[in-house]
Structure 1
Amino acid sequence: MSSRDRDRALSGVVRGPHRRGRALTAERVAYFALVEAGTGSREAARQVGVNYRTAKRWRAAAAQATAPPLVEVSSRFLSLDERIRLADRVREPGVSLRAIAAELGRPVSTISRELDRNQQPNGTYQPHAAHELAMARRARPKTSKLTADPALRAIVEDGLDTRWSPQQITRRLRRDHPDRLEWHVSCETIYQALYLQARGGLRREVAGWLRTGRIERRAHIRPDQRRPRMATPMVMISDRPAEAADRAVPGHWEGDLIMGAHNRSAIATLVERNTRYVMLLHLPEGYTPPLVRDALIAKIATLPAQLRRSLTWDQGSEMHLHGQFTAATDMPVYFCDPHAPWQRGSNENTNGLLRQYFPKGTDLSVHTAAHLDTVATELNDRPRMTLNWDTPAERMTQLLNTTHQQQCCNDR
């Protein structure tokens, strides 16, 4: 407050009848100066010539202007606005808690607990006071019960030492000590004490007794937060053209990965459904979606247009960028149903044959692209009963010759 305002206040400003309807700026300044000097609120109001209710409004407005901003809380908890609406509704006669809960979009148990926990000692519900109580109760960080109570911590550690689960410990604490409410901890309290040592208090080594064997918490991702397996929507095998299903028209392929030791390396395999012709894709740096996409595009680019009709794959995450593959090759990708390997029967059979060359549990990254081409050539030169003992290479050659002859006739 400036010295000028203080001098005006101490000199005493009395409101006269002629000031009715005008701003009370000088009176308000004088009132706060008197209160600051030690005069009681009611007496200060009398000295400056204003009603005590007016002085109360001034104090309320000043307190609101200087109050710290409200802390944003999760929508799971009642907000101040909801508490104000609740206070207005509970004062109305004949309004049920169930009706109030429906208006606020909250469970009726939430409304009931709010009134039980945060009402005043005289039984009334004041929304601002209730909000302050709730915020104080939620203050973080809090001292863990296991940190503050050595006896409780010893009981929990003994249970973990004997390989009890946190749920078994908490249930027995409630049953064996019904009167010790401070010992009625939740399973989450124990897990936080184990995984968050700064907030816990349990010995680090007891975490090893958990049945998972983990000493660090694994994050749980809500369904709405999970990253989709594919960057673009999948087209399922049920939408694949009938010509691909009956193998009558060439150019429809099946694809998959054969995995190396510990899933650290892979080779991509392609099988043409009509001729059973095999192509192998070299993936020396891994099988991430970009690497698989680029390898597929490069291999498919070596085929004539009539052999680029479709590709059928399982729902592996390596095909996350299947939309980009389709855009680059004009070749749609169809996905099999989960746990249905028979929908890619030719590819599954081929992968079994390839295990003669690439046994399970071996490192597949050591094989060169030239070696993969040699293996593919050997497979394509094997007579196949399903081809009436022709080889896939012979069928592919016949197909390409027929296509070449048709093009020559069309050109004439």
Structure 2
Amino acid sequence: MSNREACRIVGVDNRTGQKWRNGRHAYGNRRALPPISVVAAPSGPSRYLREEDRIHIADRLREKATMRAIAAELGRSPSTISREVRRNRHLVSGTYRPHAAQARADARRPRPRAGKIRQNPELRDFIQDHLGLRWSPEQICQALRIQFPSRPEMHVVHETVYQALYIQGRGELRRELARALRTGRARRKPRRQAQQRRPRFATPMVMISERPAEADDRAVPGHWEGDLIIGKDGKSAIGTLVERATRYVMLLHLPEDHRAETVRAALVTTVQTLPDHLRRSLTWDQGSEMSSHGAFTVATNVPVYFCDPASPWQRGSNENTNGLLRQYFPKGTDLSVHTREHLNAVAAELNGRPRKTLGWETPAERLHKLLAA
């Protein structure tokens, strides 16, 4: 509003309002004064009324302000203010006391009712069975909607499953099932930044910026991402390959070591099992295990593109898959004890999980459609 309009509403002279707004400059024997500060701070993004909001409501009610005026000052709906006054005023005198109102609101906020999972044994058993299969809570919730479309009592969101696992005292799901989650944690922790990795070899490399555009948009299958997951003390490893369009997973058996020649031989053997139209490119980080990438390209005719230093997001599908694989191959364990048959079984289980990014199809189903087409 203009200064004149604001002064008319408040009921003061225009010059007085200008001093309130801009402060008073020093002249003569008068010293400067700052502008008038706002007495009641706005509520901001808080969902609930806070104690300072209730104090402001009480002060304005004593000044005979309307509900709409108070709501405008706090940035709230008029119905919110009228409901607050009606529910929390004194039962005998009818006056609104802010501290007593805050105490009543705090007492009503707890919700001691049993959760949805605890009330429904069928729902609880379904979630526990699929957590045992290492399905994520989001995958489980989507499967519930698909299998029970007309039963809303069987529908939950993934946050409900997480709370049933993490929040103490609810007892809706067995706490040991938290180990079946991808993180394996019994309680939540904030995410940490990925550790930076330095290049391990200085040989001619083709960088990811030169990779074909068809690989970036995932429209054409046959572009793969690869990496190693390392075992205890860095003495063992398993190679991982993920197809970008279908998220199909293949694992490399490296029982003896993970030197460059060993990794190259395992890559050549694995990639040669694929049809030609599924062998378009391979993206890897700058690890020393790929120092023989030139010999691999000669043997398979598959170009290798390297990510920039400390840029794991450039192989996002592979990084996500490596996290899933840590459920089967935990950090700090010897990975050389796993047989090729076990690796194939783990890959088959991952390829049989529905994926949100595939419209809840499995990687095996999506790859089968591509091969059939």
TM-score, normalised relative to structure 2: 0.46
| Higher RCO (C-alpha under 8 Å, 6+ residues apart) | 2
Structure with the higher fraction of residues in helix conformation: 1
TM-score, normalised relative to structure 1: 0.42
